[in-house]
Amino acid sequence: MVEEFTLSHKPAKLFDNIDFWSGIMPEKIFLRKISASEENYISYKTAKQKIIQLSNSLSAALKTTNIGLILHSDIETILFFYSILHAGKNVIIIDPCWGSSTIETVLNTADINEVISSQAVQNYLIKARLVNIESEETIYEKTSDHSAYEGKIIVFTSGTTSDPKGVVLSQAGLLYAYQLGIKCLDIDNHASSGCFYRISGLGILGINFLFMHTIGGTGNILPEFGYFNEKELRKYVEKYKINFLYLVPPIVNYLIHNYSDLAHSWLSCVLGVSSAAKLDREKQMEYQARFGQLVNIYGLTECGFAFLFGEKKEGDYTNSVGKARGLQLKILDESSNEITSAYKQGRLYVKTKSVFDGYYKNKEKTQEILKDGWLDTKDIAYFDPNNAVYLVGRSDDTINKGGNLFHLSEAEEIFQKIPGVIDACGLKVKCPFYDEDYIICLYSKSVVSKDDIAIFSEKNLGKARVPKKVICFDGELPRNGAGKYDRKQLEKMIEG
């Protein structure tokens, strides 16, 4: 039985939330940027004015539909995000820390000729397409109906290099997912998030800021790695009344091992929300026993945001990612038969109003994952007797390294470009810090220096996606009868 939701405020587009809340609470803080030396903030009313100004300038200055946005952890970047959509353009978010190969692939695949950025950028690929945007301070209302077209959000995820995959998301879909989360987590306009991550993609941008703005809450940009110092984070939480923290599993692990039990006095007022990687049950229980509530949520880029928001039992959250609320779920076995018995594992499928429009210019790949409205999550899961969902793991070779999601094939293709390298194979490994990591095995007839490998991998993959270890072989890597890498045999060779 699926629980249906009646959502009270149903804006058509993301900007409509800001317009709505600026009319009700104009002086409410929309965004705040906090650094060690200063604090900048902007109200909902001023944010609305700025977004309209920028939207007018964008419409006048940019000629193409797809606009690249370089992500920086500042207020201006978030205003640019809204203004691109308000101008009726599609926004393609670009992490400046991606490797050059990835950036070039995204720019070319998404037909991006115009890029905007709030800060100077180093990558020459971006500089060649950078457009300077200035807003007219005297214009407070839009002067033309350029927002008649609903701008889309296009997000490039794992497999960007070997097989580009641009997820096309509608604003209406995102809003449904955000409103569903607000209802399931029971939060209101007193919500105030603290983001100590670098804004690197829609996941961080969404859960810390877009999600907050949907309910009229406040997003706080904290110093990066602001959780390293317990006293500093406590100061931010108490001073800015932060009551919502997004905590990926590696950070949950860090807090457990490095924070004192005294942190309960202030973390108990904060809702911890974990996602992006599998949350260990014992770690979740320990966190809740020592600090405060920690909910295990689950979502996919193809659904824009989380679509399962945990389950509460006797005051604390269980390790379940929750029940079907406002959507439909099913689990299929290897023969595509639906599993109805508890605890039996299978492939998880979801049907929700927030599902993506499809992969950018790739109907074939869209049809592979989306059939009759049902999205194949490619995750293995099971139901308990109360129909709550528990995740087991991924069904493919996707790596989720501390929230950085990508395919092994992407890394393999990059390493095969190193001069002298003939073959490259990646192996997924467990990691106590990132939960998941990988190693790369190289076959090369000539000696490849460790320094060259390190420089090449960081340049082309970015720091967050370099392998844990690189192992060089002077012979061919094992393959199976189908010509694919025999990863099990390779693991045995490494262990031997």
**Predicted confidence (pLDDT) per residue in 247-277, tens digit:** 988 788 789 888 999 999 999 999 999 987 7
Burial pattern 84-118, b for ≥16 Cβ within 10 A else e, equals: bbbbbbbbbbbbbbbbebbbebbbebbebebbbbb
Distance, CA of 85 to CA of 78 (rounded, Å):
11
**Predicted confidence (pLDDT) per residue in 337-387, tens digit:** 999 999 998 999 999 999 999 999 999 999 999 999 999 998 889 999 999
Using the predicted structure, report yes or no on whether residue 419 has a pLDDT greater than 70: yes
Would you state the structure tokens that stand for residue 351, as one six-digit string? 């049907």
**Predicted confidence (pLDDT) per residue in 71-103, tens digit:** 999 999 999 999 999 999 999 999 988 878 888
Task: Give 245's contacts (C-beta < 8 A, 6+ positions apart).
Answer: 193, 194, 270, 271, 272, 273
pTM over 0.85: no
Distance, CA of 476 to CA of 444 (rounded, Å):
8
Backbone phi and psi for residue 40, each to the nearest 5 degrees, phi listed first: -120, 145
Among 72, 47, 337, residue whose Cα is nearest residue 205: 72
Centre a 10 Å sphere on the Cβ of residue 250 and count the other Cβ atoms it contains: 17
Among 107, 305, 273, 264, residue whose Cα is nearest residue 195: 273
Distance, CA of 114 to CA of 67 (rounded, Å):
6
Domains of the chain, each with CATH number or no CATH: 398-495 (3.30.300.30)
Q: Is 278 exposed, middle or buried (0-12, 13-18, 19+ CB in 10 A)?
A: buried
Q: How long, in residues, is the chain?
A: 496
Distance, CA of 405 to CA of 396 (rounded, Å):
12
Residue 181 · residue 238 · CB < 8 Å? no
If pLDDT is split at 50, 70 and 90, which confidence band does 160 have? Answer: very low
Residue 22 · residue 44 · CB < 8 Å? yes
**Predicted confidence (pLDDT) per residue in 309-325, tens digit:** 999 998 899 999 999 99
For residue 23, what pLDDT is reported? 94
Q: Is 121 exposed, middle or buried (0-12, 13-18, 19+ CB in 10 A)?
A: middle
Q: Is 329 exposed, middle or buried (0-12, 13-18, 19+ CB in 10 A)?
A: buried
